Amino acid sequence: MWWEDKLVRTLRCRLQQKPGVFGALLSVIGAEKAYVGEIKIIHMGTNYMIRDITIFVDDEQHLERVIKAVQSYPQAELLEVRDEVLEMHQGGKIAIRSRYEINNISVLRKVYTPGVAEVSLLIKKNPGLARRYTAIRHLVAIVTDGSAVLGLGDVGPLAAMPVMEGKASLMETLTGLSAMPILLETKDPEKIIQTVVNIAPTFSAIQLEDISAPRCFYIEEKIQEKIDIPVMHDDQHGTACVVTAALLNISRQTGKDLKNCRLGIIGLGAAGLAISKMLMFFLNKPVYGSDINPEANERLKSADGYISDLKEIMATCDVVIATTGVPGLIKKEMVRPGQIILALSNPNPEIEPEVAREAGAAFAADGKVINNILGFPGIFRGAVDANVPRITREMLLAAARAIAEYAPAGEIVPNPLDKGLHRQVARAVARTALEQKLNRDDLTGYFD
C-alpha cells in the first residue's frame, strides 16, 4: 500500500473559528504533496478550535517543508508535531503482571510463603508438574543477537528490542502465549547456544529471531539437539511456511500447478534456504537457487537443489522468489509474461509488485503482504499446547495449508490480526503432532 513506506506524523494546530480556515489549511498541506489521514477535534472554543491532523510524508525533509508551510499560514498556530509511533513505544510495549491481586495476607500466604513451598516440593518429586503449576507452559523466549534485524541489518541487541517486543505483543494478543525477549550481547555461536540451553528450563519453546546467516543454521540445530522443547528460527521456517501458504493460493488463482512449475530462489540466506527446503519437501522436486555467496550455493546443493544464477532464474523459472535485501535487483525487462514473482525483502523489495505486473507477471507481491505474522503465533501455540520436543517439517506444512485455507476468496493470505486464523494454525500443528505421536500432553477436546 502507498502509505506503508511513509513517515506518519500528527500536527496539533489551533485554528481561528471561521468558515474556510480549516479547508485552506488542508490546501496548504496538500500543496506540499503530503497526504492527510485522520483528523480529530481536540478542543472547540468560541474563537479557536484545536485539531490533530495526521499526515503522511516521504521523509524528514518533506516533513520540514510541510511544517514550514503550516507555520506560515496566518490563521493557524502549529502547537506540536507528534510522532505517535515513538509515543506508543515509550516505556516499552510489554510487561509481566501478576495474574492475581495480592491485597491481603491470606492471598499472600497462598501465592508466596509458606504456601509456595508445597508446590516446589511437588515439582521436585515430579518435574512434569511444572507445566501445570507454573507459567512455564505458556512462556516462550524470543532470542536475538540483533545481527539481522528486519531490513536494518546488524543493529545490535539493544536496538533489536523494539522488534522483539513487537513479536511478543503479537504472540500474546493473537494466541495468549507470554513471550519474553532475550537480548544476547554476543555473536559467538557457542556462547549463544550455551546461553539458550542454560535458560531453556524457564520456557516451553524458543523462538530464535533476527540472527544472521550462516550462523543461524548451526545455532538452531545445536540448540535443538541439546533441549527437548521446540526451537524455531522464525526468519527461516516462519517465512518458508507463509510463502508456501501464499503459493498455494496463487497457484489456484493463476491456474498454475506448482508441481509443473520451475521454481527459482534468488538469495539463499536464512529465509531463502528455508523456503527452498520447504518447497522441495512439499513438491518433491528440486528448486533452482542463486546467491552471491558460494557457501550459500553449496548449502542449497547439499539439500539437493540446483545452483543457478539471476539471469537463468529470471529467464527460465515460472515462480521467482527473492530474499536478497537488495532493492531494485530485478529489472523490469527481466520479467517474463506469466511469471509469479514474490520479492520479499523489507522494507524495499527487489522489484515493486506493480512494476512486475506492468511487465507481464501473472502475479506479484512483496514482503508487506507475505509476512511472518501469519505463521509464528499459531505455530508456537500448537507446538506448546501439544508439548512437543521439536517442530517438524510436517507441522510447518500443516500450518501453511491452514493459512492458505483460511484466506478469504480472492485473497492469497488471510487478515493477520484475525485470531481465528491463529487458532486454525495451532490446531493444524497440534493435530500433526498427534499424528506423528510427538505430543506429550493429552489433546482430548483440543480440536472441539
Common-topology check for domains 2-89 and 250-448: no
Length of the chain, please?
Answer: 448
Domain 2-89 listed as CATH 3.40.47.10: no
Distance CA 66, CA 69 (A): 5
pTM: 0.89
As a whole number, the mean pLDDT across the chain is 95
Evaluate whether 305 touches 289 at the Cβ level (below 8 Å): yes
What is the architecture of the domain spanning 105-229?
3-Layer(aba) Sandwich (3.40)
- Read off the C-alpha cell for 51: 485539531
Which 8-state DSSP code applies to residue 128? G
pLDDT band at 2; cut points 50, 70, 90? low
**Residue range 262-266: mean pLDDT, rounded:** 98
Supply the pLDDT for residue 3. 62
Buried b (16+ CB within 10 A) or exposed e, 109-135: eeeeeeeeeebeeebeeeeeebbeeee
| Domain 250-448 top-level CATH class | alpha beta
pLDDT in tens, 390-441: 999 999 999 999 999 999 999 999 999 999 999 999 999 999 999 999 999 9
Catalytic center residues: 112, 167
Domains of the chain by residue range: 2-89, 105-229, 250-448
Burial group, residue 214, by CB count within 10 angstroms (0-12, 13-18, 19+) = middle
pLDDT exceeds 80 at position 146: yes
Supply the pLDDT for residue 150. 79
Evaluate whether 224 touches 280 at the Cβ level (below 8 Å): no
For residue 417, the number of C-alpha atoms closer than 13 Å in the C-beta half-sphere is 1
pLDDT in tens, 275-333: 999 999 999 999 999 999 999 999 999 999 999 999 999 999 999 999 999 999 999 99
Place of cell 527461516: 236
Supply the pLDDT for residue 152. 85
| Phi, psi dihedrals of residue 364, rounded to the nearest 5° | -150, 140
Distance CA 150, CA 286 (A): 28
